[in-house]
Structures are given as C-alpha cells and as structure tokens.
Chains A and B, each alone.
Chain A
C-alpha cells in the first residue's frame, strides 16, 4: 500500500477520506485478529472456543427468508452505499489558488508552479482585516473556496454602512492578495451595548 514516490502532490486537494478509511481499516484489523485468535485457539486446544457455539447454532437454523437475513442484507447495502458515497463525493478543496502578479520577465526557473492559500489562512486574513475597521468590536470569519463569511459585533447602535465597508475592505484585501477566484464575501453585523 505504498502511496507516492518522492514527488510532491498538489497542495490544493480534496479531502483524503482518512476517517472512513481509518474506521474500515480498524474493523478489518479487528476481524483479522479475531480470526487468528479463534484459529490458534482451535489449533492449540483442539476445540473451538465456546463463544462460537451460539453463532454456529444460529447459523445452522437460519433460512434464506428469515427476517435476520433481510436485516443483514439491508445493513450490507446501506453500509456499502455509505462506503461508496465516502469514496465518490469529491468534497471541497482545502485551499484557493493565488495568482502571482508582477513577476514579468523575472519568471522563476520552475517548470510547474503552484501557489495556494489555505481556507483557514483566508479566514484569518479576513478576520484580521475586519479588526482594523473602525467600529468593529470583535470579528470572526469562516472561509471555503467559494465564500468568506465574517461575523462582526460592533459598538454602534446603528451600524449604517458598516456591513458594506466590511465586505468592501475584506474583498479588496483578498483581491490584493491575489486569490483566484476571489471568494464571495458576506458579513453579519450585530450591535452590542
């Protein structure tokens, strides 16, 4: 199960599905350990462990149209569909590409180049820009590749055009950073006494 050689992968990538893979991997490991333990017990003692008697009797009495067979079949279909969804739903990118401007004739000696900013970094940038705007008390931000949303609290009883000033300032900051495409910027402003 080797993954990559000694080449780098794209910095802007989709989720790696580590959580479902970890769960299924641990279940496989547990199943393998259980099988090995049962087999070794049988080989050493000459008889199967007594805890197998229940499942063995249940299996011997099971018919194809038994409700338990239906339940097992349904559970298998559901689990399989969940695994397929985990594998096939692409998920969002972790970062936004940055277009470098002003390099011109001094193009770097690189055949393939990728410059990105993580969504978390974009959120930090937006939050920090909000914190510099007059009237803003506290700010928090969340970012995806397509949208940046900032939540702002203000001292002002009537915020007026504060929301527009915030979105304009954050958008300008993201544009000057070179994000491509620039995410849509939205803001929620709440007044606090």
Chain B
C-alpha cells in the first residue's frame, strides 16, 4: 500500500558508487605511478598537497565555501533519509463536476475508500481490509489490502471484489478504474472458530 523510494535509492546508490569507485581507482593509479605515466600527473613520491595548507585555510572564502558545501551535502542527506519513510500518497479531493456554471462537486476519496472497506469486510473469510484511492476522478486508481483468515476461499474473495466491489466503485465515480491493485494477506492467527469442532470427553457405547 505504502510507497517507498526504490527508484530514487537505486539511482543515487549507483551514482555515488560510480563516483567513489572512480575516485578510489584514480587514487590507486596515482599512487602506483600509472597515472603519472599516462597523463603526466604528479610523481608518486611527491606530496599530495603542494601548497601551504595553513595559508590556504587562513583565507576567509574557504570557510564560506565549506559552509555552502556542508549545507548542500547535509540537506541532500536529510532529504534522502526523509524519503525512506513509506508514504501513502493518497489522492486529493476528486472533482466530480468542475463546470463553474453548473456548480462544483467535490468528493473526499477517503469516503469512498471507507465504503469499499466496509463492503469487503462483510465478505466471508475477510478479517480486515484497507483501501486507498489515488489518481483523479476521471482516472481513479485503487489499491486494496485484504487480510483473510487461513481458511478463506481466496479465489471467491477475489471474485466477489472484482464482480461486486469494483463495479460499484466504478459506477459511483461514473468511470472505469485506471488501475486496481489487490494485495491478499493471510492472518498469522490460526482460524479455530466457525468450522472447527473440538471434541472433548469420553464417548461410552
């Protein structure tokens, strides 16, 4: 149901990985003299820092530059950490009619989601459900998470959702759903009521 930052993570990990490998490889090539031979860089026995570091760091613009770089790196790191929080990203209000001359009709998608959940919760074998609407009123996008007990007829639950719940939602919105995602979960608690009869005692013939 909740969305994570998979693509973002892969992209930035790849970029940083390539950069760090390139820096490391360049350092090793410079250390063993290969880079000096190929590109005529500094000799391996020379000092890494050629100038006077004390004089360099004494210049006022160095601190200002470091401050800006620090802020950029820190903000990027913070944004990346925040992006790891899984988010629902629900839809805003659906604008069912947006013609100003005839009046506006707004619909809170959570109202529809609650109605969908209530209907699904009445299906046999369903313990609980969560519905989330995204997209727009013209292209609604429904994500469902349905938790069933371990004896439920999963195909029957799916069939009932597809032939009853989804058409009713589409009717209410007067458009077919753009996309529907249904995640079936099974409760970890063993179902021990309803159809199980525990026999105790002694039967005497």
Task: Report whether B184 and A6 are in contact in the complex, using a CB–CB cutoff of 8 Å.
Answer: no
Task: Report whether B27 and A69 are in contact in the complex, using a CB–CB cutoff of 8 Å.
Answer: yes
Task: Report whether A117 and B184 are in contact in the complex, using a CB–CB cutoff of 8 Å.
Answer: yes
Task: Report whether B154 and A32 are in contact in the complex, using a CB–CB cutoff of 8 Å.
Answer: no
Q: A79 CA to B22 CA in the complex, in Å?
A: 11
Within 8 Å of chain A (Cβ to Cβ): is B115? no
Task: Report whether A8 and B181 are in contact in the complex, using a CB–CB cutoff of 8 Å.
Answer: yes
Q: Which residues from A are CB-within-8-Å of B71?
A: 32, 36
Task: Report whether A16 and B64 are in contact in the complex, using a CB–CB cutoff of 8 Å.
Answer: no
Q: A122 CA to B155 CA in the complex, in Å?
A: 14
Measured between C-beta atoms, what is the minimum distance from B77 to chain A in Å?
Answer: 3
Task: Report whether B28 and A74 are in contact in the complex, using a CB–CB cutoff of 8 Å.
Answer: yes
Task: Report whether A75 and B24 are in contact in the complex, using a CB–CB cutoff of 8 Å.
Answer: yes
Q: A70 CA to B185 CA in the complex, in Å?
A: 52
Within 8 Å of chain B (Cβ to Cβ): is A48? yes
Interface-located stretch among A99-107, A147-155, A160-168: A99-107
Q: Which residues from A are CB-within-8-Å of B45?
A: 63-65
Task: Report whether B67 and A43 are in contact in the complex, using a CB–CB cutoff of 8 Å.
Answer: yes
Partner of B162, one of A8, A29, A63, A100: A100
Q: A39 CA to B132 CA in the complex, in Å?
A: 47
A56 nearest CB neighbor, chain B only: B53
Task: Report whether A20 and B9 are in contact in the complex, using a CB–CB cutoff of 8 Å.
Answer: yes
Q: Which residues from A are CB-within-8-Å of B141?
A: 6-8
Within 8 Å of chain B (Cβ to Cβ): is A133? no
A113 nearest CB neighbor, chain B only: B180
Chain A interface size, as a band, is: 35 or more
Q: Which residues from A are CB-within-8-Å of B12?
A: 21, 24
Q: Which residues from A are CB-within-8-Å of B25?
A: 73, 77
Q: Which residues from A are CB-within-8-Å of B187?
A: 124
A44 nearest CB neighbor, chain B only: B63
Most interface-central of B75, B132, B188 (chain A CB within 10 A): B188
A85 nearest CB neighbor, chain B only: B17
Which label, helix, strand, loop or mixed, suits the secondary structure of the B interface? helix
B19 nearest CB neighbor, chain A only: A80
Within 8 Å of chain B (Cβ to Cβ): is A54? no
Interface members, chain B 162-201 (any A CB < 8 Å): 162-163, 166-167, 170, 176-188, 190-191
Partner of B185, one of A35, A65, A118: A118
Q: Chain B: how many interface residues by the 8 Å CB criterion?
A: 97
Task: Report whether B16 and A24 are in contact in the complex, using a CB–CB cutoff of 8 Å.
Answer: yes
Task: Report whether B76 and A21 are in contact in the complex, using a CB–CB cutoff of 8 Å.
Answer: no
Task: Report whether B91 and A6 are in contact in the complex, using a CB–CB cutoff of 8 Å.
Answer: yes
Q: Which residues from B are CB-within-8-Å of A7?
A: 134-135, 141, 179
Task: Report whether A17 and B143 are in contact in the complex, using a CB–CB cutoff of 8 Å.
Answer: no
Q: Which residues from B are CB-within-8-Å of A84?
A: 13-14, 17-18, 21
Partner of A124, one of B81, B177, B188: B188
Q: A111 CA to B179 CA in the complex, in Å?
A: 6
Residues on A lying within 8 angstroms of B by beta carbon are: 1, 3-11, 13-18, 20-22, 24-40, 42-43, 48, 52, 56, 59-66, 69-70, 72-84, 86-88, 95, 98, 100-103, 106-118, 120-122, 124-125, 127-129, 131, 176-178
Residues on B lying within 8 angstroms of A by beta carbon are: 3-14, 16-28, 30-33, 42-49, 53-54, 57, 63-64, 66-67, 69-84, 87, 89-92, 132, 134-136, 141, 143, 150-151, 154-155, 158-159, 162-163, 166-167, 170, 176-188, 190-191
Beyond the given A80-B24, A108-B163, could you list 9 further A-B residue pairs with CB under 8 A, ordered by the A residue number? Answer: A1-B80, A17-B6, A28-B73, A32-B71, A59-B49, A64-B48, A115-B158, A116-B182, A128-B191
